[in-house]
Amino acid sequence: MKKIIFTLPGNELLANSIRTKINAVAGEFITRQFPDGESYVRVLANVSKREVIIICTLHQPNDKIFPLFFLSKTLKDLGATKITLVAPYLAYMRQDKKFNSGESVTSEYFAKFISSFADELITIDPHLHRRHSMSEIYSIPCKVLHASGLISNYIKEKIKNPLLIGPDSESEQWVSEVAKDANAPFIILQKERSGDTDVKVTIPQVENYKDYTPVLVDDIISTAHTMMETVGHLKKAGMKAPVCIGVHAVFAGNAFEELKNSGIDRIVTCNTIQHVSNGIDISDLLIKKPDKG
Ligand code: R5P
């Protein structure tokens, strides 16, 4: 029997591509907002005794989570036997500890909530940070996929003489992997964040790399302050205009325009979040057999 895929608004391009590649059918449903902001969901497809897939990337998650929750609950009520949530970008991963007393460790609560209505989660490069595995917070099976191979291929094919630059020590593990597969050197920056938009970055010796094209690689570009701060230092050091590559194009507020106008060569992201900067297609990753997280 063909797989049935339900697509939440904003995920159409990726979902259509996956559906075509795996010859699945679109799960018909309606979702909209009442004038007072509440969500309406109606499932039209027959899902009785079927395993279903929901595609819903989770940037700006607060508006998405209720329609997703209502859809999942309705599908189960209508007899769906298993719900696999494909959330290429997974939200609420960064607040993973209390920095100040009384703070909510939202990554834990969010994980519990998702685990209460989905049976399986598939995601790409979740921001694990201080955690080692998704199973520390998610009680459902999670499949974690990595975009690093696709990023390496992009760099190999499209960038001449690349020097990869990772924003902080946490990024070293995966930036070094991207660099190895792209046959390129890499350096890791020292980053200090003292507020949401207050980021200080220092760059180790770049003098040796004047002829290279700097390629900034990060998992998330949100306010873009991490990248812009780095771009400023690279400019001062007389380096070429950098290429900025992010897995997840979160781009809060005017971040995209600000980064675009900061003296860079180009911005390229993976299509885990639908955005004009998408240049690396992750749909093949999602249809391949993934590693367990
Ligand atoms: C943080 O640890 C992440 O890897 C990114 O460096 C961070 O989320 C980027 O945020 P922003 O674009 O707001 O500087």
DSSP assignment string, 170-228: GGHHHHHHHHHHTT--EEE-EEEE-SSS-EEEE----GGGTTSEEEEEEEEESS-HHHH
> What is the rounded average pLDDT for all residues in the chain?
93
**Pairwise CA distance, residues 185 & 14, whole Å:** 32
* Distance between Cα 246 and ligand 1 center (Å): 10
The reply to whether ligand 1 has any atom less than 6 angstroms from the CB of 222 is yes
Same fold, 4-147+283-292 and 148-271: yes
Residue 289 has pLDDT above 70, yes or no: no
The reply to whether ligand 1 has any atom less than 6 angstroms from the CB of 221 is yes
The reply to whether ligand 1 has any atom less than 6 angstroms from the CB of 220 is yes
Ligand 1, atom 1, residue with closest C-alpha: 220
**Average pLDDT, integer, range 228-244:** 92
Ligand 1, atom 7, residue with closest C-alpha: 220
- Selection from 8, 14, 6 nearest residue 269 by Cα: 14
pLDDT band at 122 (very low <50, low <70, confident <90, very high): very high
The reply to whether ligand 1 has any atom less than 6 angstroms from the CB of 224 is yes
Greater pLDDT, 208 or 136: 136
Q: Which of 95, 96, 221 to mutate to test the pocket of ligand 1 (most atoms within 8 A of CB)?
A: 221
Question: What are the sequence ranges of the domains in the chain?
Answer: 4-147+283-292, 148-271
* Distance between Cα 240 and ligand 1 center (Å): 23
- Residue 225 CA: nearest ligand 1 atom is 14
Assigned CATH topology for domain 148-271: Rossmann fold (3.40.50)
Buried b (16+ CB within 10 A) or exposed e, 229-244: bbbebbeeeebbebbb
Greater pLDDT, 267 or 204: 267
**Average pLDDT, integer, range 106-134:** 96
- Selection from 145, 90, 144, 84 nearest residue 120 by Cα: 84
DSSP class of residue 134? G
**Pairwise CA distance, residues 9 & 25, whole Å:** 17
The reply to whether ligand 1 has any atom less than 6 angstroms from the CB of 229 is no
* Distance between Cα 193 and ligand 1 center (Å): 9
State the amino acid at position 120 in one-letter form: E
Alpha helix locations (H) across the chain? 12-22, 61-77, 106-117, 148-158, 172-181, 225-236, 255-260, 283-287
Q: Which of 95, 178, 218 to mutate to test the pocket of ligand 1 (most atoms within 8 A of CB)?
A: 218
Is it true that domain 4-147+283-292 has CATH number 3.40.50.2020? yes
Least confident residue range of 9-13, 66-70, 187-191: 187-191
* Distance between Cα 196 and ligand 1 center (Å): 9
**Pairwise CA distance, residues 267 & 277, whole Å:** 6
* Distance between Cα 283 and ligand 1 center (Å): 24
> Which residue's entry shows tokens 């890499």?
186
**Pairwise CA distance, residues 93 & 111, whole Å:** 9
Per the CB < 8 A criterion, the answer to whether 55 and 64 are in contact is no
Tokens of 59: 């940037």
pLDDT band at 192 (very low <50, low <70, confident <90, very high): confident
**Pairwise CA distance, residues 220 & 142, whole Å:** 20
